[in-house]
Amino acid sequence: MTANAAVRGVVEVPGSKSGTNRALVLSALADGPSTVTGALESRDCDLMVDALRALGVNIEASGPGELRIMPPQRFRGAPGGIDCGLAGTVMRFVPPLVALADSPTRFYGDPQATTRPMSGLLDGLRQLGAGIDADSLPFTLVPGPMTSDSEVVMDSSASSQFVSGLLLIGARLPSGLRLRHAGDSLPSRPHIAMTVEMLRARGVRIDEPDATSWRVHSGPVLPLDVRVEPDLTNASVFLAAGAATGGCVTVPGWPGSTLQPGARFLDVAERMGCTTTRSGEAVTLSGPGRLRGIDVDLHDASELTPVVAALAALAEGTTRITGIAHIRGHETDRLSALTTELRKLGVAVIEHHGGLEITGGPRGRGGVELSSYADHRMVHFAAIVALDRPGTGVDDLTCVSKTMPDFPRLWNQLVTT
């Protein structure tokens, strides 16, 4: 949808998918019932709820965004299998739970899920005694006797979720867990820090001897009632509408302190010429007359790449986004997808193995049909560039249900107000 004027408005963003699904898993592992409020209602979170219920967890909805979780004495295998969809948190956090279960479970997902990296995590689970018949979806996991040592060395350079998935069950292993990453640079560290903080909040003792090692001590996971923060990566899309049009957008409920990597968007936007202000628990972004290109390493906040790429296409000069080779294994190969879609728009882009160089400037003015690649973030990219390109659309909006089903309504309300 094209913006006919500077975009101005207030958008209340729903809860964090990362926070919601971690809270659900930890509540399922706890030794008593917990309540999660502010939980995101989306496909990824529905898939997580369904998966946990299949393993014997009792989950009741007591109100909008409020879930009561009652863990079982022991997880059971899921005879009908578990549908992971395209949800990284489901395909990487639930198999470790099944390693604690009483019988095997088959995991499967969307067609695109078969290409998402899994081998590092599955290798780690094999080291803990699980039997697994493949290195990617679909696969069957057979729980085995847990090794007495519980020391795992694995390559998590493809996804920080491999580390988080094992940390989540570490306290439930007979002798705890010693985990070490052995491989290239570890991406998305703030998400690992989020996992560690949420475990510690439930009484789990975790040591971090160095930047690539963790020691989780055996012990109970305490029940805890938690409120989920708004999803700051999703918030960046709406703030970007103000940045792209010289407008002003406010997101209420922005936490004063957070480990969500999406919070980095404020710094990126300021470097591109925007102004951000805080008032209580609200953040307001005001866009400049014209954005400017920057050099930015998004290794720790790679989910922001499509939004930053969209703004780069509208900016003066060249934007170099680095440190993001691992997003080739996200819902789609996002580097390749962004390159293809930017070139459709007439934007000069150079694709590197681990990044993009995008030069903003004169573009074609005709309408373009952009592709979503079944990737919610590519829809966000399309929505931002369409603000400046009459007639531009995207071939599939439904994939936004992954993390924000209400995105089309919220976006149209903001842009047309």
Q: Which residues are catalytic?
A: 303
112 marked as part of a ligand binding site:
no
- State the alpha helices, DSSP H only, in 203-350: 232-245, 265-271, 305-314, 334-344
73 marked as part of a ligand binding site:
no
22 marked as part of a ligand binding site:
yes
Residues with Cβ within 8 Å of 147's Cβ and at least 6 positions away in sequence, in order, are: 127, 128, 129
What is the number of other CB atoms lying within 10 angstroms of the CB of residue 209? Answer: 10
Secondary structure of residue 125 in the 3-state scheme: helix
103 marked as part of a ligand binding site:
no
18 marked as part of a ligand binding site:
yes
- State the alpha helices, DSSP H only, in 281-406: 305-314, 334-344, 376-386
160 marked as part of a ligand binding site:
yes
17 marked as part of a ligand binding site:
yes
What is the number of other CB atoms lying within 10 angstroms of the CB of residue 224? Answer: 17
Q: What Å distances lie between residue 404 and 132, 233, 236, 359, CA to CA?
A: 33, 11, 13, 30
116 marked as part of a ligand binding site:
yes
Residue at token pair 């923060």: 229
Quickly list DSSP for 70-118.
Answer: E--SS----TT-EE-TT-HHHHHHHHHHHTTSSS-EEEE--GGGGGS--
Q: And the tokens for 147?
A: 């090794």
Quickly list DSSP for 23-49.
Answer: HHHHHHHSSS-EEEES---SHHHHHHH
188 marked as part of a ligand binding site:
yes
Q: And the tokens for 359?
A: 């030069």
Residue at token pair 């989910």: 303
Annotated binding site for phosphoenolpyruvate: 17, 88, 116, 161, 334, 377, 402
Annotated binding site: 17-18, 22, 88, 116, 159-161, 188, 303, 330, 334, 377, 402
Annotated binding site for 3-phosphoshikimate: 17-18, 22, 159-161, 188, 303, 330
